[in-house]
Structures are given as C-alpha cells and as structure tokens.
Structure 1
Amino acid sequence: MQTTHDDPYLIISSDCHAGLPTERYRPYLESAFHRDFDDFLAQRDARIEESTRLGIRNETFARKWFEEHEEGLRGGWDAAQRVKELDGDGVAGEVVFPDADAVDSGTAAPFGVGLGLSGDQDPELGMAGARAHNRWLAEFCSTHPERHCGVALLPVTGEVERVVAEIHRARESGLGALMIPAMWVDKAPYHDRRYDPVWAAAAETGMPVVTHSGAAPRHEYGDHLGIYVSEVTWWPARPLWFLLWSGAFERHPGLRFGVAESGCWWLPNLLWFMDRLHLGAHGGKKLSPFADLKRPPHEYLDRQIFVCATNTKRRELAQRYEIGVDNILWGSDFPHPEGTWPRTREWLRETFHDIPVAETRRMLGQAAADVFGFDTAALAPLARRIGPTPADLGQPAGQGPVEESWRRARETGRHWLTGHDFPFVGRDTGVRET
C-alpha cells in the first residue's frame, strides 16, 4: 500500500483479546462435556479467591477498573461494542487471542485452555474446551473478517492426528493463527519429532504459531508474586530456542512462529548469544557442530520469527535495529488493563514521537499485515478515517533530523555482524571475543 508522509497510520494490533463470559460457552461445547463444564464453573469462585490471596488480583483495582470501563469492556465479546472501541483507539485490524477479562478470569475458555493453556490439561477436556472457544471465535470474527485475525487454541501436546485435524478445521472456519501451550510440563518437548506433522500443517495452512504469556509453574512460587512476574514472560519465549536448535525452522521453512505479550527486550542478547555459538565463538568451540542448522540463528529470525511486542516500550524501540524492525509487531492488549486501551493514541505519541515514520508504519501495522495475512487494501479506507497521522504522534514533517539521530544505531545494527563499535566489543564481528 503506497503512502505519503502525512497519511494516517494503518494500525494493526498484534495482541488483543476476546472471549465469552465463561458460562456462555455451553452452546459451543459438545454435550458430552456439559457435566464436566458444570464442575469447572462451580470452581470459579475458588480460583478468584486464590488469585486474590496470592496478590495476582488487586481487589481495589479490580472494582475501580470494572466500574470505570463497564461499557468498553463489553467489547470483549460484543462485536458492535468492539469495533467502537477499536475505532476510538485508531486500530484498524487486530489479532485476537483468548480471555477478554484478565482481572477476574470471567471470560476464561472452558477447562482453563485460554491464556493459561499448558501441556498438562486432560487431553479430552483440553481439546473440547479449545474447540468450543474456536467455534465461538470464528463466529465472532466473521462479523468484520477484514479487521479480525482469530487465534485458534491448540492443545498441541495431545494426540497428533486430532491436533492436525483441528488446525485444518480452524482454518476452514476462518481463523488465521494458532496458539500453543508455552509449557509442555510432563509431555514431549517441542524439539520432539512427533510434532513435525503439526508444524507442517501450520505451514501448509499459512497459520502462524504463537505462544502467549500467562502460563507458569505457579505452584512453585508460594505467595511470592515477584517470582511469578519475573518468569511469566520467559516461559512463552522458551519454545523459540527448542524449535530453532532442533531444526524445526529448517525442516519447515513455511512455519512462522511468534511470542506474544512477553516484550522484546530479551531478544537482542539472546540473538547475539545464539549467533556467536553458531558462528564458532571461543566459548562454544568445545561443543559439537550444530548440524540441524544450515544458517545462523539471525537468518531464521528474519525469515520466520516475530514478536508481538505488546505496549512496546521506548527501551525496546532503541534496540530495534538488533531485533529487526520488521520483527517487532506492536499490540494494544485490548481490553486488558496492562495494555494501552483506552489511551492508545496518547501511548503512541509518547512512545513513537521520535521514531522515523517509515519504521513506525512497519511496526504499527504493515509487519503484522504481512505475518497474519491482513488485506491492507480492504483496511485502507478505515485507516484513513480512524488512524492517527504522524503529526498526531508528534513526528515532524521533515524526517531528515530524525533519520540522522538514529543513523549510528542503524549502521551498527547487529554489531556482532556489522563490525561496528559497540560497548566492550571491538571492530571484529565479535565471534572471537572471550
């Protein structure tokens, strides 16, 4: 899509959430599981009480949040209210993950297979709950298919044939991506070849595979919420290196993999470390060659990996030339309170005011359109109506000074590859550093 400097931004949020109030999933769930569903609902109050006790739920904040945003929060499952909220934020398109309510878990998918999706669910209940949510989500997204890319829940650690069948069923229903558990617990890790048919099906259908923050071994943390907060974004990132080092991206070049709502601050140092190992850094010389990789890790990153960097921070934008501008997909996290809604326009101005316009366009929408298959031509008229302009974000018409201010960072890029100066690294590639 051709644009001029002054054109409004076409914004696609790579991380939004939707889900029915839990009890309303019943019509989408096979009748054989209704009794189990009743048991699940009966335990809901106990789960909320436990979250409050552990400090995961702040009672005072929760009450205020629901009172102040009652109307807008209905957009978590009401399609008409949702487009009103998206329009107010200037968001033309969105990638839709589960669990609209991140405070009380009042919109959790049946049997806890939403953001808490883990590898240890009962295989029958897990798949039944996932299918129920996927059926509803396909129906929900069909109201404005050009604006919504629905993320199907996929309990991938279950029976492979059923998992592959659900991929194709979800695709045929109109969903566009797949969310797998961040944790496999006692099941086979993701380097196991048993998952190859799953990765192949995802590539064949053009459905990106995504993990999302939420699941973590909470039973290990006791009442120490800080431990949970410190680790919760690590678990969804972990599958990345399992897939990469086991050669999954080499065997399935059409597979796209992303990590959602875990930031992207961790990626530059991880990429630097993995590249050095593959390129023969001194500290890795005693290790056997990495035969499953035919190219260095950064090439797989640029070809197949992305980060749904929800509420992208200034610190992360400063690292964008190491991460790769096209690998950063901004997200609003609507309607979660830790996201930018309903102040997205203000957040964007505070965050992107000194970022070059061309790069801003990639991170705010175009990169997500490429990954998730949005029709930018169909969204263009909407973007012209609701999207903020560069001027709205405080970005000057004359881009020369802005471009110049980032010139050194841009030229340095991935310093271990470009040979440019970086603190503690000489003009070598960094491969031989000790």
Structure 2
Amino acid sequence: MESFPTIISVDDHTVEPPDVWRDRLPAKFRDAGPRIVRAPIKEMTFLGGRFAPVMGAPGDAGPVADWWVYEDLHRPLTRLDTAVGYSRDDIGLEGITYEEMRPGSFSVPERLADMDANHVQSALCFPTFPRFCGQTFTEAADRELALLCVRAYNDWMTEEWCGPAARGRLIPLAIVPLWDAALAAQEVRRNAARGVRAVCFSEIPPYLGLPSVHTDAWDPFLRACDETGTVVAMHIGSSSRMPSTSEDAPPAVSSALTFANCCFSMADWLMSGAFTRFPDLRLMYAEGQIGWIPYILERADTVWENNRKWGGIGDKVLEPPSELFAQHIHGCFFDDAFGLRNLDAIGVGNVLYETDYPHSDSTWPRSREVAEEQMGHLTPDVVERIVRGNAIELLGLTPDGLWAGAPARG
C-alpha cells in the first residue's frame, strides 16, 4: 500500500523502572514494597504453562539477573520480557539485567523512537511485574500495602509513563485491587477522572481464586466501568495459567494455544448476563488473535437457540451471543492472516491491531510490513478502522489518535 495508516497498538508492554514503587510508597513501606535486587539464578523452568524461577544467594554461582522482590515473591526479569532486537533463534528462557534489555522497554524517549521505527503512532501498554491484571498484588499478604502498590503503579502509569514526555502517544492502562470489587470500582473512577479509559482484568478470575463472572460479585467494578466508559482489557495469561496439556508440556504447547483462555473467557461473558445488566460495558482480548472467533459465535448462538432454558441462561441472556459480541467485545491481533480472511464473520468494528512490543512474538520492527502483507485484500477504509479507527473510538482518543487526557506541556 502506498500510504499505510500509522498504527495504534492496543497491546504493547512496559517493563517498570526500578524506582516505580520506592519513589511513590509512603516512607514506612518503601523497604517492604517491590524493589530490584541483583542476584544469581539458581534454577528457572517454564513447563506445563507455569513459570518457576529460583533465586540464588549472593555469591552463588550462576547467571546474574535483576529480580523484583516483594514479600515472598522473587521474580527475575527475563529475555522473554524484552526480546525485540534479538534473533528469535537467540531468545531463550534466561535472566537479564536492565543494562541488557532494549531501553525502549522502560524509557519513554527510547520507546517513542522504537514506535517511530515500527510505524506506530500510539500504544496501550500492559504491566510486567504486576502481571497482566495486577494479580501480583492480589496474591499479596499485606492488603494495605498491596492497595498502595496498585495506586502507585497507576500514578506512575498516568503521570510519568503517559506523562508530558509521551506527547499523548502512550495510552494509560490501569490495574485494580481485584480482591475487593468495591475498591476496584473506586480505583476505576479515580483513574477515569483523569482520563484513563482502560483497565486490566483477568480472563478467568476463578483461576486466581476469585469469583466468576456468573456471580454478581463483580457488579460494583463492572458498574464503574460501564458508567465511566472504561474498557475491560484482558490479556492472555491474566489468569496466571497459560493453557497447556500436561505438567511436562514444553512452552511451545502453551504458545500455540494462547487463544484458548480467551475462548473460554468469551463463552463465560456471553453466557453471564453481564451485558444485560451493563449495556455500555466493553471488553477487549489482548494478544488472543481473532481466527477462532467465528466458530465460537456460531456455536454459542446454537446453544442459546436450542438449549437456553435447561442451560441456565434463558432469563439473563436476552439476545443471541453473536449480537452481544458485536455490541460489546473486541478481539486483538498482530499476526492472523486466517482471521483477516474471515473478517466478515467477526465484524470490522470488533477488531483491533497490536504489535506486542517488546515480547518475543512481537512483529517489531516489521509491523507495517506484516499488516500490509495480510491486509492486502482489504479496502483502505477497512484497513484504517482495524489499525487505528476502532482503537480511537473504543479508547476515547483524539481524532488524531492521541490520548486526550495527557497533561498539558508547560
């Protein structure tokens, strides 16, 4: 295409700088909050969809990494957190330090430069240390500190990562205290008041020991999202359990099945009745791709038509699931030629584009080329909607594709 629209990526990632929490927590909590410790890696595996690192003691032999330490959690930064710029054949499960990662992973000026190199105008970024829906803090023992950590992250995300230096090109994405739906609602409203239009949530909350979307437990949170126009963003892995088949299945199995939890999650939401209670609620599935969506909608409609009475949804799911999907749900992709060939069965208005920077799956720095190769059969107006127009509408961006809530430059 002679003129390809600049991309708005709805799924990139930030690697939090070491001082995010130490600079923002009250003095009495700074030594207990998340902090970076440089230490050796004693052992690290990723089998059966579960990541299991073991931190060595100072002076132990082994490769050195920067570790986030918080309560009993020891989590190293890894090459999988920030893989762009490396040959995919050289990307392994290994620990790294900040000096060994691409600066655009954690520095705003370098991130904007890498976005320029990738034909990306704006980007919505998911967390790394808090994990994809903030479940790190949900699992913490000290809930007072955990709530402060959630708020500190959102302050950093909004005021610094997406602050004046970003010039509206970085779009804020909040986390919430998932252990308390009322507190979560308060945090949604606090951030919505400063222009934040997206919040992380778990694709399958019961995997985290939380209530399912079939209860009314989440209603305060969902009501806050509904009333403020806040999009509920669910990333693959936001249930802390990547799909797998056995305890010894290699990571490639989970990687091939990344869409599966999105599939389960969407069936949950479509059959939950939540869209009847909250008619303005919007969901998006990050990094789940889109090729699987048409069959799930077809099957869900069949179940709704034939089995809704005995299936337990007759009094709460009042429209065909495919119609609910069209009104409420967006699928996100970065490399899905099959999905694009079946776009009519998904809906042009229900598809968003992403680049997954700086992860190993990322199409950086070839996101434009990949998009052009896979969208060559689409008309320019459809391409425009997929790579930026739908994101502008969903996330409340300016017509130019920038975050309108960015603080004014002095």
Query: Structure 1 length normalisation: TM-score?
Result: 0.72
CA distance in 2, matches of 1:45, 1:133: 27
Contact 1:182 1:236 in 2 (8 A): yes
CA drift at 1:358: 1.8
Contact 1:312 1:330 in 2 (8 A): no
Q: Partner of 2:139 in structure 1? A: 121
CA drift at 1:162: 1.4
Which one is further off, 6-15 or 74-83? 6-15
| Cα separation, partners in 2 of 1:206 and 1:6, compared to 1, 3 Å | same
CA distance in 2, matches of 1:164, 1:340: 35
Larger Rg belongs to:
1
Which one is further off, 289-298 or 217-226? 217-226
CA distance in 1, matches of 2:170, 2:157: 10
Per-residue CA deviation, residues 28-58 of structure 1 (Å, 9 max, x unaligned), is 33444434336x7559855973449999778
Q: Partner of 1:79 in structure 2? A: 108
1:262 aligns with 2:288: yes
CA distance in 2, matches of 1:306, 1:291: 25
CA distance in 2, matches of 1:329, 1:97: 15
1:27 aligns with 2:19: no
| Cα separation, partners in 2 of 1:94 and 1:22, compared to 1, 3 Å | same
Q: Which structure 1 segments of 5+ residues have no match?
A: 100-107, 380-434
Q: Partner of 2:117 in structure 1? A: 88
Q: Which amino acid aligns with 1:94?
A: A
| Cα separation, partners in 2 of 1:242 and 1:284, compared to 1, 3 Å | closer
1:179 aligns with 2:179: no
CA distance in 2, matches of 1:54, 1:314: 26
Q: Partner of 2:380 in structure 1? A: 357
Per-residue CA deviation, residues 156-187 of structure 1 (Å, 9 max, x unaligned), is 2x122211111122223442200012332322
CA drift at 1:306: 0.5
Per-residue CA deviation, residues 334-366 of structure 1 (Å, 9 max, x unaligned), is 222211111222222222222222211111111
- 2:268 maps to which of 235, 238, 242: 242
CA distance in 1, matches of 2:47, 2:79: 6
1:272 aligns with 2:298: yes
Q: Which amino acid aligns with 1:149?
A: I
Q: Partner of 1:153 in structure 2? A: 175
CA distance in 1, matches of 2:246, 2:152: 31
CA drift at 1:247: 1.0
CA drift at 1:221: 4.7
CA drift at 1:7: 5.4
Relative to total residues, which structure has the larger strand share, 1 or 2?
Answer: 2
CA distance in 2, matches of 1:252, 1:115: 21
CA drift at 1:277: 1.6
How many residues align structurally? 359
CA drift at 1:372: 0.8
Structure 2 residue matching 1:26: 3-state secondary structure: coil
1:206 aligns with 2:232: no
| Cα separation, partners in 2 of 1:6 and 1:316, compared to 1, 3 Å | same
Relative to total residues, which structure has the larger helix share, 1 or 2?
Answer: 1
Contact 1:118 1:155 in 2 (8 A): no
Contact 1:52 1:58 in 2 (8 A): no
Q: Partner of 1:49 in structure 2? A: 44
Contact 1:130 1:154 in 2 (8 A): yes
CA distance in 2, matches of 1:159, 1:64: 34
% identity of equivalent residues: 23
CA drift at 1:27: 1.0
1:97 aligns with 2:123: no
CA drift at 1:74: 1.4
Query: Structure 2 length normalisation: TM-score?
Result: 0.76
1:312 aligns with 2:364: no
Q: Which structure 2 segments of 5+ residues have no match?
A: 52-77, 81-88, 403-410
Structure 2 residue matching 1:28: 3-state secondary structure: coil
1:16 aligns with 2:12: yes
CA distance in 1, matches of 2:368, 2:229: 32
